[in-house]
Copies of this chain bind each other. A is one copy, B any other.
Amino acid sequence: MSEGATGLIEAGAGAQPQPGERRRGIDRVIMLLEALLKHRAPMRIGDIAKMINAPRSTTYEIVNSLLEAEMLENVGSEGYVYFGRAMHLFGWAYSHHNAHYRRILETLDRMAAETGETVQLCGLRGNKYVVLDCRDSPGPFRISSDVGVEVPIPWTASGRLLVGHMQETELKDFIPAADYELPDGRVIAPDEFFADVDLARRQGFSETSALADRFTWCMAAPIRDSHGAINTTLCFVLPVDTPEPRRNQLLELLRERARALSLAGS
C-alpha cells in the first residue's frame, strides 16, 4: 500500500462502484480538489462527478458549498468551475507564513533575473515529484506551467535528491514499478537509479540530461530544513546543448544558493 498524499483519488479510477458505497463529504471534497488539480482546467460538474466517481446529486451539493465559500468559482458562463479566490489566499498564506519560504522565493526571482534561465523549486507530494514554483526563462522556449503536475521520481534530477534519506529497500516499496518507464518508452534499471540516488547524496547535487525529455539538461541542489532533511530542491532547467563551462558556472551558483537557503548550519 503506497498510500501517498493522493491516495484517495486513486479510488476514482479502478474502484468498482460497489453498490451502497457511501463516502464522507470531506473525502469527496479532497477527491474533488485533487481531480481539479490533476485536470488543470475548469470542469463541468457532471464531469467532476464521473471523475471522482460520486453521485451527481452529491457532487452538486458539495460544489455549491465550496462555491459559497469561494473555494471554487464559476468560470465562463456555462457550468464550468475551478479553484476560487479563497484557495489563492490559503495558498498564499502557506507560502508566506515562514520567512524561510519567502527567502526561497526571493532567491528564485534573483536567480532567474541574474541568469535568464528557467529556475524551479521542487518537492515531493506523496510518492511523486512536483514543481512547487518556477521562474521561466524569458526565451521563447519552455512554457512549463507545470507547477503542481505529478511526475514520477526517477524521471527527475531533483527526485534523486529528495529520496536521499531512504534505504534501498524503502525505495523499492516507495516508488511504483511503472515509474521507472520514461515517457519515450525507455526503462531505467532500478539499480542504476539507486546508484544515482547514492551518488546524488554523496556529491550534494544531481544532474540529468535528456531524461524525461530529450531537450533539457537539469541540475538540482538540496535545500535542507533545520533538521538537515531535504524537503525541497532548487533546480535549473537548461537546453541540453548548453556549453559545459556555462553549465559548471550555473551549477556552482545553484549549489551556493541552495546552501545559503539551508537551515542546517544556522
Contacts and interface: CB of A to CB of B under 8 A. Distances in A.
Interface of A: 3, 5, 7-8, 24-27, 29-30, 33-34, 36-37, 40-42, 62, 65-66, 68-71, 75, 82-97, 123, 125-126, 130, 132-133, 145, 147-148
A96 B37 CA distance: 12
B97 A91 contact: no
Contact of A37 (B25, B84, B90): B90
By secondary structure, the A interface counts as: helix
Contacts of A8: 69
Given A91-B91, A91-B94, A30 B71 contact: yes
Nearest to A33: B90
A30 B65 contact: yes
B93 A83 contact: yes
Given A88-B94, A88-B95, A89-B91, A30 B69 contact: yes
Closest 7 interchain pairs by CB?
A91-B91, A83-B94, A89-B148, A25-B26, A87-B90, A30-B69, A88-B91
Contacts of A96: 145, 147
A93 to B, nearest CB: 5
B5 A88 contact: no
Contact of A83 (B3, B65, B82, B97): B97
Contacts of A86: 5, 33-34, 37, 125
Nearest to A101: B88
A65 B147 contact: no
Most buried by B among A37, A71, A86: A86
A82 B97 contact: yes
A93 B97 CA distance: 19
B88 A132 contact: yes
A71 B27 CA distance: 12
A97 B39 CA distance: 11
A130 B93 CA distance: 13
A123 B85 CA distance: 9
